Structure 1
Amino acid sequence: MTPRISFEFFPPQSLDASFRLWETVQALAPMKPSFVSVTYGAGGTTRTLTHEAVSTIHRNYGLPVAAHLTCVDATQTETLAIAESYAAAGVTEIVALRGDAPKGAQRFVPHPMGFANSVELVEKLAKTGKFKIRVGAYPEPHPDAADSTADVTWLKRKIDAGASSAITQFFFNADTFFRFRDACVKAGITAPIIPGILPITSWAGAKKFANRCGTQVPQKLDEAFTMAARDGR
């Protein structure tokens, strides 16, 4: 059976990046992904670019596309207006996330008139009845999680609020995902949990990203990449 896959893209921030994105989408389209998604940028910095990329993929390539939407640096009215603009463009899949702290900030602080967290965002989106909502999940503790069980509890709240599936943060150890999945089932979560996979084009970049996300890097894997770099491979 052909595995079901999806692809996540960053919104292009230059003309050259735009050409590369459209070439990539065109090359991957024959694989018939279940959906593709476009990220929102740290601190919501690529809001307009995300909207343009999502609309173009939907209009020109006919692929199921999900737009990332976060709670960062926007009022509830502004955030819901963005969601409505997606619906008006025919895009009805949303990846609803709290979002990372804006650049230079140490932690996420909600906008005074914004959504305090992803559960609130999911609830409001679900009430519109217009969207298929996906959310994030953390097989390894989220940097802001109180303990190892908090991520399962939080995911259940998001599913109960109206999300239909979850996409995990990337991980290096498959057992990490399986333990998380089993804990979710035990907690009564029946929605699909999609494992996130990070293509490694730069080991230094992957490690930096892992450190920011709280993803554990296996020592043997780190040693193997270090040795390969030393040998010029």
Structure 2
Amino acid sequence: MSTRSALRFGAPLVAALCALHADAGNRRLPTVDFDDAPHVVLEGIGARYSEAGFDFTLTGGGYFVMAGSYQPDLINNGTPNLFSANDSVFEITASNHRPFSLRAFDIAGSWTEPSLWFRWASAVVLTGTRAGLPDLHHTVTMPQTARFTTVLLDWEGLSSVTFTPIVNPSGGPADYEFTLDNLYLATVPEPETWGLLLAGLGATLAHTAWRNRRQRHAG
């Protein structure tokens, strides 16, 4: 095959691959931002909130609230977020039980009033579990400002991620609070996603080969 033919053949193939991969990527990279969450209190072990194919399940402590802009006295970005209260521990899993990645998230203390900062967790420990591999660990020290900070992780192959607050020495036994927003999560592609990708490549390949044969016969 000549260079010109190879380019003619390869260009639409690469374009189709990029388009299909981008489309699949858009479906696999939701941002959990809680913007459409109702203002509800989720209390009791096993309480769950779900968004964009991910579940947030209470596994310890008191409760968490879809709060943020619903409660102006809590740190927020002008939109709802997740407020983890009273030493609550929660776990993130993919709703389809497939492995996933956690790329980044925004985290902050709780109450904006400085006299209530003693209720903030002093830090939050993340534990990522992976099938057949050692757990991952990361500790986020709570910023001493009443605004969110972005944490970059880029963890992959996760079965779950647990957020556990660490006691603030000046806080009470029911404090250790923090707020969470804008989680960048990605699930491993479903088998049907790869099937669509391969089908698209096959169709492009067949069409390009047919067009090349037609042009050769015409010449």
Kindly name which structure, 1 or 2, has the bigger radius of gyration based on alpha carbons.
Answer: 2
Query: Would you call these one fold, judging by a TM-score over 0.5?
Result: no
- Structure (1/2) with the larger helix percentage: 1
- Which bracket does the TM-score occupy, shorter chain normalised? under 0.3
- Structure (1/2) with the larger strand percentage: 2
TM-score, normalised with respect to structure 2: 0.25
Q: Identify which of structures 1 and 2 has the higher relative contact order when contacts are C-alpha pairs closer than 8 Å and 6+ apart.
A: 2
